[in-house]
Amino acid sequence: MSQEQLDKLTALLRSRPKPEPFTVEAARARINELGDKMPPPADAVIETLTVAGCAAEWVSAPGANPNRQVLYLHGGGYVIGSPHSHRNVAYGIAKAMDARCLVIDYRMGPEDPFPAAVEDSVAAWQWMMEQGGNPARMAIMGDSAGGGLTIAVQVALRDRGIRLPACSVPISPWVDLEGTGGTIKSKADEDPMVQEEGLHWFSELYRGGADVRNPLVSPLYADLTGLPPMLIQVGSAEILLDDSNRIAAKARSQGVDVTLEVWDKMPHVWHLFAPMLSEGGDAIAKLGAWARERTS
């Protein structure tokens, strides 16, 4: 581990000023700064398009295998985030996997509350198959809220009789929008990225009055039977650590092939910071190799 890199990143995250007033618009602008400050390499292949009514991007490295595909669902509490903010992560995954990543700008709260994000993601998956995508060579991935959405979408696909991907990778997934995990409190001083107050804010804006224990809102309460192999990566310094621990345990108990990786001292979705944190690149390389093997 590069302790110097981690210390620098942690200090940077803790020193970022919170927008005043803290509005949805300000929060969206803040996360999109990631895309400005950490863009993908100049050779990244970015194709903009519209998918199921949503703006979207195909992201890949030159010469990528067009038949191996990923539906990537960005994080941001179902309220913020975009293909722009997550373009570099999508590129890293696409390169590590020798695949093309489709990143969709799914509808978010509060303007478009649940189930809009689920419906847009299901529609994007169906669109990919209509374009010739083979689910046996496809994966669904996402980080944070997008990690929870990765699981929720597969539950929705299964229940509708739609073919599932070969595998999925939820990164630091948010699967309990009620916030009942023990690490919400026990890791509060350790986590430089996420605070309990913020989680409740995002949850309320996204749910729009929907039951917090609805299985497609909080996949922790879903029946996960029949889902394909799943790799979960989470940092040990996250207040959402217990979300990963609990969803992994539940999935295993229902017969899902689950690999849970807890990365020592890593913050929430450290993959986003791969340009300045070597473990970010290492995690992307590892998940890419894992998913590539299962989509060959």
Q: Which residues are catalytic?
A: 144, 238, 268
Residue type for position 295 = T
Sheet holding 45-51, edge to edge: 45-51, 54-60, 100-104, 69-73, 138-143, 167-171, 230-235, 258-263
**Residue 80 C-alpha from the chain's centroid:** 12
User: Could you tell me the two tokens for 20?
Assistant: 């005043």
In degrees, rounded to 5, the angle at the alpha carbon of residue 204 between the alpha carbons of residues 11 and 245 is: 60
Give the C-alpha separation, 152 to 94, whole Å: 22
| Torsion from C-alpha of 102, 105, 106, 112, nearest 10 degrees | 180
Per-position DSSP letters for 181-208, written without gaps between them = -THHHHTTTT-SS--HHHHHHHHHHHHT
Give the C-alpha separation, 81 to 83, whole Å: 7
